Structure 1
C-alpha cells in the first residue's frame, strides 16, 4: 500500500504533531513537524509487535541505548493503517565521530551490554540437547555424503563443466570445513552432557551497522528491533559475520577486534564458544549452491553458478581465518586456566 503525504500527516496527528513536509527513506518516513524532526517507521502488521515488549523489558532492565519509541496521545505504541503498523521515534542524524572500525566496536560493545542485561538461564533437558545434536549431525553428514557423490559424478564425465572443475578443486577444503564443524559440534555435545540449563538473551534479530545510529552527542543507539526475540546470543553474531565475511579474500583482523570487544564484556562459556565455532565454520551455503547446480537441468546459467561458488569459497576462507584465530585464543585461555600438574 502506498501512503500519501496526507496519510502521514493524519498518522502523526495521533501524536499531537503537525506535519510541514516528509521524506521517504525505504520503510522510514522522515517527518518535519512543528516540534522537530521524527522518524515514522512502517512495518508489516502480520509480523506482530512483540518487539515492543522486548524493548520495554530492556528499558526496565536499565538498557537505554535504544532509539525510543514514542506513545501516541491515546497510549498506543503502534498505529494500524491498512496492512501496516507505524511507530514513531526521534530522527537521529547519525553523524559518525570515528571511522568504520570504531563504529563496529561501539556496536559490539553495546550488543554485549544488551545481552548482559537481558541474559537468563533456561532449562534444557538432556533429551533436548541430544535431539539437537543428532539432528544437526545427521543433516551435516548427509551433506558430506552428497558433496562426495557430486564429486564422483563430476569425475565420471569426459569433460567437466567450469562449475564442476571449480567445485572439485575446492572439494577437499569444503570437506575439511564440514569435518571441523562436526568435530566442534561433538565437543559441544560432550561438554554439555550433564548441563541442565543454557543461557538465552534478548537478541536484536537484525544486527547491522545501519541499525546502530549516533545522536548529536556521539552516543550510539540501536534501532529496528522488529525481529528481536529470546534466543542464544550466537543468533546475533552469526548473521552479522556471515554478511561481513562475504567479500574477496582478506585477513579479517578487524572482525576479530570487534569480537574481542564483545567477548570482553560478554564472555562466552566454553560450550557456547564450541557451538559458535561449529556453526560459524559450517559451509552450508556452499552445499546449497552445489546441490542447486546439480539438480538444475541443462538449461542453467553456468557463469552465474561459477560466480556464486567462487564468492562462497572466498567467504569460507575468510571465515576459516577468523575461526582459526578464535580457536587459538580459546586454547591459550584454557591453558592459562588449567592448573599445573604436580
Structure 2
C-alpha cells in the first residue's frame, strides 16, 4: 500500500480508502470523489503510443476515450521503479448489457474515433495483390483438407461427437471458403494504392467499455496503435459472436451505425469480410483433434466458437452485399439456404 500512497501523492490525492477491485485495478476514495488507480502493463516502448492516444483525445474531442488525470508535474502517469500507474475518474463498474442501444453506442463511438483520426496510408499494389493471391491458394488448400477430413469421418461406422459436428457444419464452412475466395477476387480487382489507418484500440470488447449517464467510454488503451480500422471491428465481432446467443441482427444494425460515422470503402468492406471468414482457426481445430491433449468437450466448445464466428462472417457478408454493394441473384439463393440452416 505504501507504493500506492506514493503514486496517489503525485496526483495530490489524499485517500482515506483504497479497495482492490482486480489484480491491477483499485478504487480510491478521498474526501471529494472516487478515482480508479490502474497498475498498467505499459512499458517504455508502449507508453509513447499510449500518451499519443490522450493527446489525440484532447485535440480531436474524442469523448468516448475515458480521460486520465495529470500528476502535479503535468504527466499522464506515475512511474515507480519499472511499474507504471495512471489514474482515471471512477465509473461504477458493471457488466455492459448488449442491448441495441448500447451496441449502437459502441459502434458509433469507435466509428467516430476512427473517422477523426484517419490517416492516408499507401500500399505497394503488386505486393498487396501477391499476398492475397497466396492467401487465396491457401484457402483452396484448406478447403480440400476439410473435404478430406469429412470423407474420412464418413467412413467411420461410429463417428465421435466431434467428427459428427464437423460433418454437420461442413456445408456452411465450405460455403464460407467459397465466399472468402469470391471476396478475395473482388479485393484483387481493386487497383487503388490508397488505404487509411486510424487510431485503433486493438482490444475492443464489452468488458473494456463503461456507460455512465448515457455516455459510453472505452478504457484500457494500453495496446493502442494506428492500423486498418477494420481490425477493431474484427476483434470486437470475434469476441462477441462466439457464443450461442449472439445478437446477430443487433450487431448488424450496430455496424450500420458505424458506417454512418466512418464509411468504409468497398475494398475495406471486402477485407473486413475476408478477416471474419478466416478459416484457419477452424481447420487447426480439426487437424489437431486426434493429437489434442484436451477433453472432447473442450474441443467441441472451441470448434463451436470458431464456427459461430465464421457463421457471423457469412451474415455480415450478406448484409454488406445487400446494403452497401450490388448482389448477384445466384448468391441470394445460397444465402437463403444459409438462413434456413442457422
**Pairwise same-fold verdict (TM > 0.5):** yes
Match of 2:210 in 1: 213
Measured after TM superposition, the shift of residue 147 of structure 1 is 1.8
CA distance 1:14–1:126, shift in 2 (3 Å): same
1:72-87 matches, cutoff 5 A:
72-87=71-86
Distance in 2, matches of 1:254 and 1:88, equals: 34
- The match for 2:57 is 58
Supply the distance in 2 between the matched residues of 1:171 and 1:31 (Cα, whole angstroms): 53
Q: Which residue of 2 aligns with 1:164?
A: 163
Structure 2: runs of 5 or more not aligned: 329-342
Is 1:301 aligned to 2:300, yes or no? no
Kept in 2: contact 1:44–1:83 (CA 8 A): no
- Following TM superposition, by how much is the alpha carbon of 1:251 offset from its aligned partner in structure 2, in angstroms? 6.4
Q: Equivalent residue for 1:265?
A: 261
- Normalised to the residue count of structure 1, the TM-score between the two structures is 0.85
Distance 1:196 1:39 in 2: 44
The alpha carbon displacement at 1:230 in A equals: 0.6
Offset of residue 76 of structure 1: 2.7
Unaligned runs of 5+ in 1: 335-342
Give 2:37's aligned residue. Answer: 40
Q: What is the TM-score with the length of structure 2 in the denominator?
A: 0.85
Following superposition, the deviation at residue 325 of structure 1 comes to 2.3
Shift in CA distance, 99/227, structure 1 to aligned 2, threshold 3 Å: closer
Deviation, 1:176, is 1.2
- Is the Cα contact below 8 Å between 1:17 and 1:35 reproduced in 2? no
For the Cα contact (< 8 Å) 1:58–1:117, is it kept in 2?
no
CA distance in 1: counterparts of 2:199 and 2:85, whole angstroms: 22
Distance change in 2, residues 1:214/1:278 (3 Å): same
Task: State the secondary structure of the residue aligned to 2:284.
Answer: helix
Aligned residues between the structures: 325
CA separation in 2, counterparts of 1:59 and 1:300?
48
Over 3 Å counting, the alpha-carbon distance change for 1:122 and 1:155 in structure 2 is same
- Aligned alpha-carbon RMSD (Å): 2.7
Contact 2:122-2:193 within 8 A present in 1 as well: yes
List per-residue Cα deviations over 1:154-176 (Å, max 9, x = no partner): 34445432222221232232111
What SS class does the counterpart of residue 19 from structure 2 fall into?
Answer: strand
Contact 1:251 1:318 (8 Å CA) reproduced:
no
Q: Structure 1 residues 290, 95: closer, same or farther in 2, change over 3 A?
A: closer
